[in-house]
Structure 1
Amino acid sequence: MLRVTQVCKSYVTAQGMLPVLRGVDLTLAHGESLALMGESGSGKSTLLHLIAGLDRPDSGSIEVPQGHLETRGEPALAEWRRSGIGLVFQQYNLIPSLPVGANLAMQARLAGRHDPVWVEAIARRLGLAELLTRYPEQLSGGQQQRVAIGRALAARPALVLADEPTGSLDEASSATVFDLLLELVADTGAGLLVVTHSARLAQRLSRQVVLQHGRVLSGSA
């Protein structure tokens, strides 16, 4: 499903080059879930963005079923983001001018895989069936994150990437939303890669990997 091999990434700063990833190796199988952990600045979000095709590695390879991302042009990367993956961010990133129903269906429509029956099932399971005509500003944080999860899964992607998906929620809402994410991902058979600071949430996934100073800690699995 996903193979990351010796990936390195640095950024230019006022103080010079800042290495963020220093030869990261990572694999994820179909239907497997993986928690990516580490302190702030360890490179977790950077790695997620590279896998999503939002940025390119300086060296190394990122292999997905469609091929190697680092060799693909922008149109191919856009297609990967549109139909190959589902993205869930802490900030929700909903479109404020669209009601919940349209937000849920947006990713699937872009991917050309809109299934009204599946979207309706997602809305029902996420507790959104009565909120489809409301706008994001009319929802609580937990409800907005449920919409973001539903949008990511509506196109039945092969890989779901979640960056601190419950980081802005209280503990009770976080547990509920995470439960729903795991249930829906399991139903689709997608691989799931979650960036999280929470050891409690990480333990619920198949494996845990720890990044430290841009490298995977030996022994983490």
Structure 2
Amino acid sequence: MLQVQGVFKSYTTPQGPLAVLAGVDLHLAARSSLALMGESGSGKSTLMHLVAGLDRVDDGSIQVGERRLDRMSEAQLAHWRRTEIGLVFQQFNLIGSLRVDDNLAFQARLAGRFDARWQAQLVERLGLGDLLKRYPEQLSGGQQQRVAVGRALASRPGLLLADEPTGNLDEATSDEVLQLMLDLLRDTPTSLLMVTHSPRIAARLDRQVVLHRGRVLPADAR
């Protein structure tokens, strides 16, 4: 599903080039989950943005399914993001002017894949039935993140990217949201790449790796 090979990325700063990724190799099999860990500033979010097609590699390649992101135009990447991946963020990023039901359907409608039956299943399994007519500001953090998970999975994407999705939640709510996400993933063709700082959360996924000094290591090789 995902192949990252020899990826380099640096940024220009007043002090000169800042190397963030130095030959990253990473793979994620179809229908599997992978936790990406590492200290603050290790480049986890940078790698996630590259995999999401939100930024460009300096060198190396990223392939998702049959698509080479480093060979795609900006227009192709924008269309690919709308149709082929799901994104879940720490800050929820729901659309404040839309009610829960419309937030849930938003990504699927953009992708041209809205399925009322699947949406109804998501609503039931995420426990959102009594919240559909509320706005995001009327929800707790855990409720907002459940909506965000449902929105990301509504189009049944091949790849779900989650950047610290439980970082703003307490431990009990984190466990609840993660379990719901993993349960739903088992019923879809979706693979999961999650950035997390929590070893406890990471242990729930199929594999764990660590980003250290610009390279990816197995979790037990730090």
Separation (CA, whole Å) in 1 of partners of 2:61 and 2:180: 32
> Does residue 202 of structure 1 match 2:192?
no
Equivalent residues of 1:119, 1:154 under 8 A apart: yes
Q: Which runs of structure 2 are paired with 1:56-71 in the superposition (5 Å)?
A: 56-71=56-71
Separation (CA, whole Å) in 2 of partners of 1:194 and 1:145: 15
Equivalent residues of 2:3, 2:28 under 8 A apart: yes
Question: Which sections of structure 2, spanning at least 5 residues, go unmatched?
Answer: none
Deviation of 1:186 (Å):
1.5
Separation (CA, whole Å) in 2 of partners of 1:83 and 1:66: 14
| 2:130 alignment partner in structure 1 | 130
Deviation of 1:220 (Å):
5.4
| 2:44 alignment partner in structure 1 | 44
Deviation of 1:15 (Å):
1.0
Separation (CA, whole Å) in 2 of partners of 1:75 and 1:100: 29
Separation (CA, whole Å) in 2 of partners of 1:48 and 1:219: 18
Letter of the structure 1 residue corresponding to residue 102 of structure 2: A
| 2:114 alignment partner in structure 1 | 114
Separation (CA, whole Å) in 2 of partners of 1:45 and 1:106: 24
The residue matched to 1:78 in structure 2 has which SS?
helix
Separation (CA, whole Å) in 2 of partners of 1:213 and 1:61: 19
Letter of the structure 2 residue corresponding to residue 35 of structure 1: A
Change (3 A) 1:169 1:218: closer
**TM-score normalised according to structure 2 size:** 0.97
| 1:172 alignment partner in structure 2 | 172
> Does residue 30 of structure 1 match 2:62?
no
CA displacement 1:62-109 (0-9 Å, x = unmatched): 011242101100111011111110000001000000000000000000
| 1:156 alignment partner in structure 2 | 156
Deviation of 1:217 (Å):
2.4
Equivalent residues of 2:161, 2:192 under 8 A apart: yes
Deviation of 1:218 (Å):
5.8
CA displacement 1:149-188 (0-9 Å, x = unmatched): 0000000000000000000000110000010111111111
| 2:139 alignment partner in structure 1 | 139
Separation (CA, whole Å) in 2 of partners of 1:86 and 1:134: 23
Separation (CA, whole Å) in 1 of partners of 2:218 and 2:210: 9
Report runs of 4+ in structure 1 exceeding 2 Å deviation.
217-221
> Does residue 8 of structure 1 match 2:14?
no
Equivalent residues of 1:8, 1:23 under 8 A apart: yes
Equivalent residues of 1:209, 1:217 under 8 A apart: yes
Equivalent residues of 1:41, 1:213 under 8 A apart: no
Separation (CA, whole Å) in 1 of partners of 2:83 and 2:144: 22
**TM-score normalised according to structure 1 size:** 0.97
Separation (CA, whole Å) in 1 of partners of 2:78 and 2:4: 19
The residue matched to 2:186 in structure 1 has which SS?
helix
> Does residue 54 of structure 1 match 2:54?
yes
Number of aligned residues: 221
Identity %: 66
Separation (CA, whole Å) in 1 of partners of 2:67 and 2:201: 31
